[in-house]
Amino acid sequence: MPSSIVHLPIQIKKAESFVYRAPINKPVQTSFGVMHDRPAVAIRLEDHEGCVGWGEIWCNFPSVGAEHRARLFDSVITPILLEKIWASPVEAFQELTKRLHVLGIQCGEPGTIAQAIAGTDIALWDLLGRKIGKPLWELFGGTPLIETYASGISPTNPEEIASEKWAEGFRAFKLKVGFGQDRDFSNLKSLRNLLGPDTKIMVDANQAWNLDSAARHIEDLAPLNPFWVEEPIAADQPINAWKKLASQSSVPLAAGENMRGETQFYEAIQSNAFRVIQPDIGKWGGFSGCLPIAKAICSSNQLFCPHWLGGGIGLVASMHLKAAVGHAGFVEVDSNPNPLREVMAMPYPAISDGKVLLSNEPGLGISPEINRLIDLQVKHYF
């Protein structure tokens, strides 16, 4: 975290979580499961001066995960937040991480706790940016223009989705694979024929293959020139397995959404197994944890492309995180319909020619449209 960042003391007066669920007509398919609705957990913090900050906790899987994470935030994190005046969001992030470490081990949920802390950190930084009067991209010393790509393109009628996203302004795309060799090849070929030889098309296997089959599947897709292949094997495979696969693959490997903690990220950076590393700001770290990792990724000449799959608060936070460090790389924008994307992040950033120009409004520069979210709120989740 840059030492030049201005900090003001933060004393939280009120901390709230909100669970939302939005129905969707078409389920979201992955190699490991299907989403039948779109959930989100929003965090709202208010200090003693009446300043408000918003954050979002990752919560897509399992389907009951949103309610669980909200309850965890309310019962475990909120009491700690209210204890003292925090010198900075970094201090709060470090204290929460330290004090809840053993609890994560004891209950077998270190990832869930890390997600709740990450969403809290986003809200603290949004609050600080609003208090200081600067957008987060500027507070972190970045620039507001970033590149994006349309992710999560379904294995069912992918050309139709890609055409829609092209019309919306996207110029790079990511296809879901892991649904059988013939189907994967046919879908990628259809996209390549539609979008042309120079368009960046990534593929995401969502951990579908083992080490031996991954190499075969990747080389089968390689003639269609995918820009990267994401999580071809289980994210918890030892780093030597990733290095072996990288040595066999003619397509760059990408991973990071399921990495957690500085040690794991720095191991990944130093291994040179990954051309692309993708921290998820709502799964681990928030800004306090992810910004130093992002800078290390860029310094190592790897692509920093933050992952996100959720509502609009986390998406815009990912955009500010990318804008903070600059360099080549993309911010992921889910291609699937999600009523919680735009309505949670108003005014929603416009996409033009594959790029987003973030506003000069303080903090994240957005706020949820609460009146439009009321019907989607899950009440009495305790």
pLDDT tens-digit map of 201-225: 999 999 999 999 999 999 999 999 9
Question: Residue 194, SS3?
Answer: helix
Residues 189 and 197: their CA atoms lie apart, in Å, by 11
The per-residue pLDDT for 381 is: 46
Residues 175 and 200: their CA atoms lie apart, in Å, by 11
| Residue 5 resides in a domain | no
Query: Within 13 Å and on the Cβ side, how many CA atoms surround 149?
Result: 22
Query: Within 13 Å and on the Cβ side, how many CA atoms surround 344?
Result: 30
124 and 202 within one domain:
no
Residue 214 · residue 176 · CB < 8 Å:
no
> What is the number of structural domains in the chain?
2
The kind and range of the H/E element at 210 are none
Owner of token pair 């520069």: 365
pTM of the model: 0.96
Q: pLDDT tens digits for 78-113? A: 999 999 999 999 999 999 999 999 999 999 999 999
| Residue 1 resides in a domain | no
| Residue 46 resides in a domain | yes
| Residue 221 resides in a domain | yes
Q: pLDDT tens digits for 68-77? A: 999 999 999 9
84 and 212 within one domain:
no
**Quick check: 3 pLDDT over 80?**
no
Radius of gyration of the chain (CA): 20
279 and 217 within one domain:
yes
| Residue 56 resides in a domain | yes
Question: Residue 159, SS3?
Answer: helix
Question: Residue 16, SS3?
Answer: strand
Indicate the average pLDDT of the chain. 95
The per-residue pLDDT for 38 is: 93
Q: pLDDT tens digits for 351-377? A: 999 999 999 999 999 999 988 898 888
Bridge partners of 56?
A: 42
162 and 119 within one domain:
no
**Quick check: 7 pLDDT over 90?**
no
163 and 111 within one domain:
no
CATH number, domain with residue 24: 3.30.390.10
Could you list the residue range(s) of the whole structural domain that residue 128 is in?
A: 12-134+371-376
| Residue 381 resides in a domain | no
Q: pLDDT tens digits for 325-343? A: 999 999 999 999 998 999 9
The per-residue pLDDT for 33 is: 76
329 and 211 within one domain:
yes
The per-residue pLDDT for 71 is: 96
53 and 168 within one domain:
no
**Quick check: 382 pLDDT over 70?**
no
71 and 163 within one domain:
no
**Average pLDDT value for residue range 171-179:** 97
CATH number, domain with residue 281: 3.20.20.120
188 and 44 within one domain:
no
